[in-house]
Amino acid sequence: MSITKKIFSKMYENARELNQRNILQMLGVNESAKILDLGCNDGKWTLELAKKVNTRNIYGIDIVEKRLNLAKKKGIKTINGDLNCKFPVKDNSFDIVHANQVIEHISNLDSFLSEIRRILKPGGYAIISTENGSSWHNIFAALMGWQIFSLTNFSSVASGVGNPLAIHHDGAAELSSWTHKTIFNYNGLKEYFAIFKFKNTSSTGAGYYPLPAEFGKLDVRHAHFITFRCYK
């Protein structure tokens, strides 16, 4: 890995860690709360969510069976499901629905947001975090005629396509369900929540290359990661 990529990789890691802290700050303590983590993977981060909320009512959905098994071993109530389809969950079931770095992998976005609203209890909230197409480093890549950083992994054949500074440029692709389908800009995602009648939407950001990650909290519209909390 070149020095430039190593520097970018470190900045990315700092932004990712701040984004996780931002998510935790948006969660309120509620021992009786029932949480659903969409795209729970191996459940490691799901447990951090539960710890902050101080609840044991923690559920996770994922389509990758091996990852679900790992989450189940951690005590998470697991659900095998495709997030592009109707969730195998009853209406008004959860106080909190969480999706970190998931919405960009979804093909059927209308169904995804509709289902989140359906399964939330009245007054419940969703926390959704994703990469921002309007981040300064994505704008820079577009000006250079490169694939924006947040959309270099659109292929299940190769990763880091079209951007020489992408961390995984010329790398092997991972699971097809992990490829990015849609990268939102700040205002697009905010208005999308309103279309599905979410309310009291608030946001924060993380990552502001080449400046420290905390600058993303000051200028959310151009941060690498954007995180929204919205209520049913």
What pLDDT is recorded for position 198? 98
Domain that includes residue 177, residue range: 3-231
Is the separation of the CB atoms in 82 and 61 below 8 Å? no
172's enclosing H/E stretch is strand 171-172
Is the separation of the CB atoms in 213 and 102 below 8 Å? no
What pLDDT is recorded for position 174? 61
Plot region of 73 (φ>0 → left; ψ -120 to 50 → alpha; else → beta): alpha
Question: Averaged in consecutive runs of 10 residues, what is the pLDDT profile of the chain (232 residues)?
Answer: 72 95 97 97 97 97 93 96 96 98 96 98 98 96 95 86 81 69 96 97 96 97 98 98
Beta pairing, strands 171-172 & 158-159: antiparallel
What pLDDT is recorded for position 177? 67
User: Which residues, in sequence order, are CB contacts of 203 under 8 Å at separation 6+?
Assistant: 186, 190, 220, 226, 227, 228, 229
Q: Which two tokens stand for residue 141?
A: 């890549």
pTM of the model: 0.93
Our count of domains for the chain comes to 1
| Helix, coil or strand: residue 99 | strand
Domain at 105, CATH number: 3.40.50.150
What pLDDT is recorded for position 170? 63
Q: How many angstroms separate the Cα of 91 from the Cα of each of 77, 88, 109, 156, 189?
A: 18, 10, 19, 34, 24
